[in-house]
Structure 1
Amino acid sequence: MRIYTLVFCFWAATGPLHAKIVFTSFRDGNWEIYKMDSDGGNQTRLTHNKVADTAPVWSPNGRQIVFERDEGKGEIYLMDADGSNQRNLTNHPAMDTAPHWHPNGTRIIFFSGRGASSRIYVMDTAGGNVEEIPGLLRASGPKWSPDGKWIAFEGVAEESDVIQIVNPDANQLRVISVPIPRPMSVAGWSPDGRRIMYFAAFDDAGDDAILVIVTLSRDGSGKAVGWQRVRPPRSIDGSPAWGADGKSILFLGRNHGNENIYRYRLDNRQLIRLTDHPDSDGAPNEWHPLLTVSPQGLVPILWGGIKSNYSNRSLPLLTLPR
Structure 2
Amino acid sequence: MQFLIVIKRITAVIFISLYLFSCNTIEPPPPPKYQSIDESPAWSPDGKWIAYYHFNSNPDDSLYPTGLYIIDTSGSNRRLIIAGRAYNPDWSPDGSLLAFDVGRIFITNVYTGELKQLTFGSGQHFPQWSPDGKYIAFEDVINTPPDTAGIWIINVNTLEMRYFDRGGTPDWSPDNTSLVYKSLEGITIGKIDGTSFKTILPIKKETGCPRWSPDGTTIAYIRDKPIWATIWLMDTEGGNQRELVSNCYSSPPSWSPDSRKIAFQNLNPEKNKIVIWIINIDGSGLKQITY
Q: TM-score range by the shorter chain?
A: 0.5 to 0.7
Residue 222 of structure 2 is matched in structure 1 by: 252
Tell me, yes or no, if structure 1 residue 110 matches structure 2 residue 110: no
Q: 1:159 aligns with which of 146, 150, 160?
A: 146
CA displacement at 1:258 relative to structure 2: 5.3
1:121-173 deviations in whole A, cap 9, x for unaligned? 11111461112125555432211100001111123141341211111324432
Letter in 1 for 2:36: V
Structure with larger Rg: 1
Kept in 2, the 8 Å contact 1:251–1:262? The answer is yes
Alignment of 1:215-294 (within 5 A): 215-217=191-193, 224-231=194-201, 236-253=206-223, 259-267=229-237, 269-277=239-247, 282-289=251-258
Q: Measured at CA, do residues 79 and 152 of structure 1 come closer, stay the same or move farther in structure 2, by a change above 3 Å? A: same
Residue 7 of structure 1 is matched in structure 2 by: none
Distance 1:274 1:136 in 2: 36
Residue 301 of structure 1 is matched in structure 2 by: none
CA displacement at 1:104 relative to structure 2: 0.3
Secondary structure at the residue paired with 2:82? Answer: coil
Kept in 2, the 8 Å contact 1:124–1:130? The answer is yes
Q: Measured at CA, do residues 234 and 81 of structure 1 come closer, stay the same or move farther in structure 2, by a change above 3 Å? A: same
Residue 36 of structure 2 is matched in structure 1 by: 51
Q: Could you list the structure 1 runs, at least 4 aligned residues long, displaced by more than 6 angstroms after superposition.
A: 232-235
More helix by share: 2
Distance 1:51 1:226 in 2: 43
Distance 2:255 2:196 in 1: 25
CA displacement at 1:192 relative to structure 2: 0.9
Aligned length: 219
CA displacement at 1:289 relative to structure 2: 3.5
Kept in 2, the 8 Å contact 1:65–1:80? The answer is yes
Kept in 2, the 8 Å contact 1:232–1:271? The answer is no
Kept in 1, the 8 Å contact 2:220–2:232? The answer is yes
Kept in 2, the 8 Å contact 1:187–1:242? The answer is no
1:179-209 deviations in whole A, cap 9, x for unaligned? xx3xx42231111111112214x54xxxxxx
Kept in 2, the 8 Å contact 1:233–1:271? The answer is no
Kept in 2, the 8 Å contact 1:107–1:123? The answer is yes
235-244 or 140-149, larger mean C-alpha shift: 235-244
Residue 82 of structure 1 is matched in structure 2 by: 74
Distance 2:240 2:161 in 1: 36
Distance 2:144 2:176 in 1: 24
Kept in 2, the 8 Å contact 1:212–1:228? The answer is yes
RCO (CA 8 Å, sep 6+): is it higher in 1 or 2?
Answer: 1
Distance 2:87 2:157 in 1: 23
CA displacement at 1:283 relative to structure 2: 3.0
Q: 2:88 aligns with which of 84, 98, 108?
A: 98
CA displacement at 1:216 relative to structure 2: 1.8
Any gaps of 5 or more consecutive residues in structure 2?
1-29, 60-65, 261-291
Letter in 1 for 2:244: L
1:234-289 deviations in whole A, cap 9, x for unaligned? 87433321122222211123579752211111247111221235x65653211234
TM-score norm. by structure 1 comes to 0.60
Tell me, yes or no, if structure 1 residue 188 matches structure 2 residue 171: yes
Kept in 2, the 8 Å contact 1:61–1:289? The answer is no
Kept in 1, the 8 Å contact 2:37–2:54? The answer is yes
User: What percentage of residue pairs aligned between the two structures are identical?
Assistant: 24
CA RMSD, 1 decimal: 3.1
